A and B are shown apart, each in its own frame.
Chain A
Amino acid sequence: MDALLTGQNWANGILLGSLYAVAAVGFGMIWGVLNVINLAQGAMIVAGAYVSLVLFTHFGIDPYLGLPVNILVLFVFGWLLQRYVINLIVRAPMFMTLLLTFGIDLMLTVFFLGVFHTDPRQVNPTYSSTGVHAFGIVFPVTRLVALVLAVAATAFVSILLNRTELGMKIRATSMDFEGAQLVGIRIASIYAMTFAIAAALAGVAGGLLSTTETFSPADTGALTLKSFVVVALGGLGSAWAALAGGLILGLAEVVGGAILGVSYSNLISFAILILILIVRPSGLLGRRSYAS
């Protein structure tokens, strides 16, 4: 039970959780607005990580300074994918969109395998092993940046949805599809924008991941599942719910892993997933959609 008491474990859990939160914010947006479970989420995150890797190793660009490139690449990819592929059948029974995004995940994974092979990679800028010491706890710099950016990304999504005209259109579309059409909102382009923004967020998550963890094409499935756990934990209520879900999952994995053994951390997250689904499918803080 000592593990429950050490501040380092709690700090690690919160830092890991913030990474999960960034990974899942976009996933929750796509789910809430488009009613699509995006099984290509993990592949989009890994794509972001590879963008950072290429920028760093071939052009010497710092992974954080390169984040705008991640955003741009994934934004364009997400817009095209939604506008010209997923939009074609977006109102089909949900199982069809699930399969479709799985097919896309598979194609992206094969692409990564072909270009980057199976080796686990990591982006290691000079400061990657430095940390900030405070209260007898070490905070690795890269993870601290991830925490700050996680809060920033959440605030960005929240302001975008609640304070801008685009956000109003997105919320209107998710609340009432036909009503939105009646007032002249172009659903196809709103869907494409929503998916593109979510993909850009996945790109940021990938960039952050590339500096803190190793990644490989084999990670796409686990990242997708964790995004789902985070959103299911927090609920589809708002962007802040995803942040809460991410922190809970991160803490559960790290603290639980410290108690039971590190190899149990994956099992813990799947157990939480199944429990949450069975006990409270709408999530801990959940409302039914972004309509808040």
Chain B
Amino acid sequence: MAESPTETAAPPIAIEAERPPAANRKRGLQLVVLGALLLVAIVLPFVLDDYLVRVGTTIAMLAVLAASWNLIGGYAGYPSFGNAVFFGLGAYGGAIAMLRLGLPFPAALLCGGLVSTALALLIGLPVLRLRGHYFAIATLGILSAMQQIVILGDKVTGGGAGLTLPLSPLSLETFDELIYLVMLAILVAVVVFTFVMARSRLGYGLVAIRENEVAARVMGVNTTLYKVTAFAICAFFSGLAGSTYGYWLSALDPYVAFDSSYNVLLVVIAIFGGAGTVAGPIVGAIILGGLSEWLRGVFVQYHLLGFGIVIVLVVIFAPRGLVDLWERRHNLTFASLLENIRSNSV
């Protein structure tokens, strides 16, 4: 009853050309709805109070990180467990560019993204040769190693005590609104990129790698090039989000920037929403980000417990995510929720 991975993985290319008028109308309607949502998202900070703008920024940031992870973890099937390294390095890259080189924020933002991309290119070749457990743990190890390097390199990074960034001359509220809009712009960029990529040679190549890497190589996909490209782009967007976050916090330390539980949060967000889909990470970020914010308000100390329970429930009952449940909503029964258990238990 469930779609096999290959079915979801192979969007019908040929049908695109002879799309019936009804489908065209549906596509048009979707675009209008998306445009309206985006407009609302842009206007929102000028209507809401400052606290909600901050929550919105956090959710947009989680969405960027989950959507970036989705490129390598969801599409290429290389589940990185250390993506926060790109986030943290972006934050440090941006901060150091502002502090030591005196660059303005837009240039520092770009620096953050590029530093992360450079790391992804450097480690991509050796690490992307590993599969399964080994890849996941290697990325986790790189995250921890980078945290140690930042702690030890205190001449440049400020060590364990961290860095203090220059404060923005803007008023606090305007600054929060600005950061929100920057985060939103990065989110739109990564989503548009994912949408276009999923329908391009790169996207099909990555999905082919996920389904069967050897077969993909036999069919002429340059697997190394595709994987490293996806990894680098994932790092770039995560780095942008990181340097925006650093500027927003205006104080950075290695424990915040390279937090390994944060790093799993964004994987859970992507899987909860639906890995390997365009909308999944955003849906996941809005629901889990909102939930986590609410839990934090209600149970200060135990909000991580709720997060742990969500992880366990998602993995057991909805490992393909909400987007998959939504697509199957017309024949969704209680039994189909147990299907994962039936096929994977002993």
Q: Which residues of A contact B (CB under 8 A)?
A: 31, 37, 85, 87-92, 94-96, 98-100, 102-104, 106-107, 109-111, 113-114, 187-188, 191, 221-222, 225, 228-229, 232, 263-264, 266-267, 270-271, 273-274, 277-278, 281
Q: Which of B140, B142, B315, B345 contacts A96 (CB 8 A)?
A: B315
Q: Which of A98, A100, A222, A229 contacts B312 (CB 8 A)?
A: A100
Residues B344 and A89 in contact, CB atoms below 8 Å apart: yes
State the CA gap A94–B145 with chains docked (Å).
24
Of chain A, the residue at the smallest CB distance from B301 is: A114
- Cβ contacts under 8 Å, A188 to chain B: 345-346
Residues A221 and B260 in contact, CB atoms below 8 Å apart: yes
Q: Which of A92, A106, A109 contacts B344 (CB 8 A)?
A: A92
**Max count, chain B CB within 10 A of own CB: residue among A107, A188, A221:** A107
Residues B304 and A109 in contact, CB atoms below 8 Å apart: yes
- Cβ contacts under 8 Å, B170 to chain A: none
State the CA gap A229–B134 with chains docked (Å).
11
Could you list some 13 contacts between A and B, CB below 8 A? A88-B316, A91-B343, A96-B315, A98-B136, A99-B264, A99-B311, A102-B264, A106-B307, A106-B308, A114-B302, A232-B134, A278-B126, A281-B130
Q: Which of B138, B268, B340 contacts A277 (CB 8 A)?
A: B138
B278 at the interface (CB under 8 A from A): no
- Cβ contacts under 8 Å, A271 to chain B: 145
Q: Which residues of B contact A (CB under 8 A)?
A: 79, 81, 126-127, 129-130, 132-134, 136-138, 140-142, 144-145, 148-149, 151-152, 260-261, 264, 267-268, 271, 301-302, 304-305, 307-312, 314-316, 319, 340-341, 343-346
Residues A113 and B301 in contact, CB atoms below 8 Å apart: yes
- Cβ contacts under 8 Å, A85 to chain B: 312, 316
Q: Which of B130, B312, B340 contacts A104 (CB 8 A)?
A: B312
Residues A106 and B141 in contact, CB atoms below 8 Å apart: no
- Cβ contacts under 8 Å, A229 to chain B: 141
Q: Which of A87, A88, A110 contacts B302 (CB 8 A)?
A: A110
Residues A270 and B144 in contact, CB atoms below 8 Å apart: yes
Q: Which of B129, B133, B302, B316 contacts A89 (CB 8 A)?
A: B316
Of chain B, the residue at the smallest CB distance from A265 is: B148
A80 to chain B, nearest CB (A): 14
Given A88-B344, A96-B315, does the pair A278, B301 have CB atoms closer than 8 Å?
Answer: no
State the CA gap A104–B341 with chains docked (Å).
18
Residues B137 and A232 in contact, CB atoms below 8 Å apart: yes
Q: Which of A94, A99, A266 contacts B144 (CB 8 A)?
A: A266
Given A89-B345, A91-B346, A107-B305, does the pair A278, B312 have CB atoms closer than 8 Å?
Answer: no
Given A114-B302, A188-B346, A267-B149, does the pair A99, B138 have CB atoms closer than 8 Å?
Answer: no
State the CA gap A31–B133 with chains docked (Å).
10
Residues B138 and A92 in contact, CB atoms below 8 Å apart: no
Residues A88 and B341 in contact, CB atoms below 8 Å apart: yes
- Cβ contacts under 8 Å, B136 to chain A: 37, 94-95, 98
State the CA gap A278–B81 with chains docked (Å).
16
Residues A225 and B140 in contact, CB atoms below 8 Å apart: yes
Given A90-B344, A109-B304, does the pair A274, B141 have CB atoms closer than 8 Å?
Answer: yes
Residues B137 and A100 in contact, CB atoms below 8 Å apart: no
B288 to chain A, nearest CB (A): 13
- Cβ contacts under 8 Å, B260 to chain A: 221
| A/B pair count, beta carbons within 8 Å | 135
**Max count, chain B CB within 10 A of own CB: residue among A85, A92, A277, A278:** A277
Of chain B, the residue at the smallest CB distance from A278 is: B126
Of chain B, the residue at the smallest CB distance from A221 is: B260
Given A107-B309, A270-B144, A273-B141, does the pair A91, B344 have CB atoms closer than 8 Å?
Answer: yes
- Cβ contacts under 8 Å, B145 to chain A: 267, 270-271, 273-274
Of chain B, the residue at the smallest CB distance from A99 is: B315
Q: Which of B134, B302, B307, B346 contacts A281 (CB 8 A)?
A: B134
State the CA gap A104–B315 with chains docked (Å).
12
Of chain B, the residue at the smallest CB distance from A281 is: B134
Report the 7 A-B pairs with minimum CB-CB distance, sorted nearest first: A103-B311, A270-B145, A106-B308, A107-B308, A267-B148, A92-B344, A273-B141
Residues B311 and A102 in contact, CB atoms below 8 Å apart: yes
State the CA gap A188–B310 with chains docked (Å).
25
State the CA gap A106–B39 with chains docked (Å).
38
- Cβ contacts under 8 Å, A109 to chain B: 304
State the CA gap A232–B134 with chains docked (Å).
9
State the CA gap A94–B149 with chains docked (Å).
30
A197 to chain B, nearest CB (A): 17
State the CA gap A237–B132 with chains docked (Å).
19
- Cβ contacts under 8 Å, A266 to chain B: 144, 148
Given A88-B345, A91-B346, A98-B133, does the pair A103, B141 have CB atoms closer than 8 Å?
Answer: no
Q: Which of B261, B271, B341 contacts A106 (CB 8 A)?
A: B261
- Cβ contacts under 8 Å, B132 to chain A: 94
Of chain A, the residue at the smallest CB distance from B138 is: A277
State the CA gap A270–B130 with chains docked (Å).
16
State the CA gap A282–B315 with chains docked (Å).
28
- Cβ contacts under 8 Å, A100 to chain B: 311-312, 315-316
Of chain A, the residue at the smallest CB distance from B125 is: A278
Given contacts A37-B137, A274-B142, A281-B134, 14 further A-B contacts (CB under 8 A): A37-B133, A88-B344, A91-B345, A94-B132, A102-B264, A103-B309, A103-B311, A104-B312, A106-B311, A110-B302, A110-B305, A228-B137, A229-B141, A270-B141
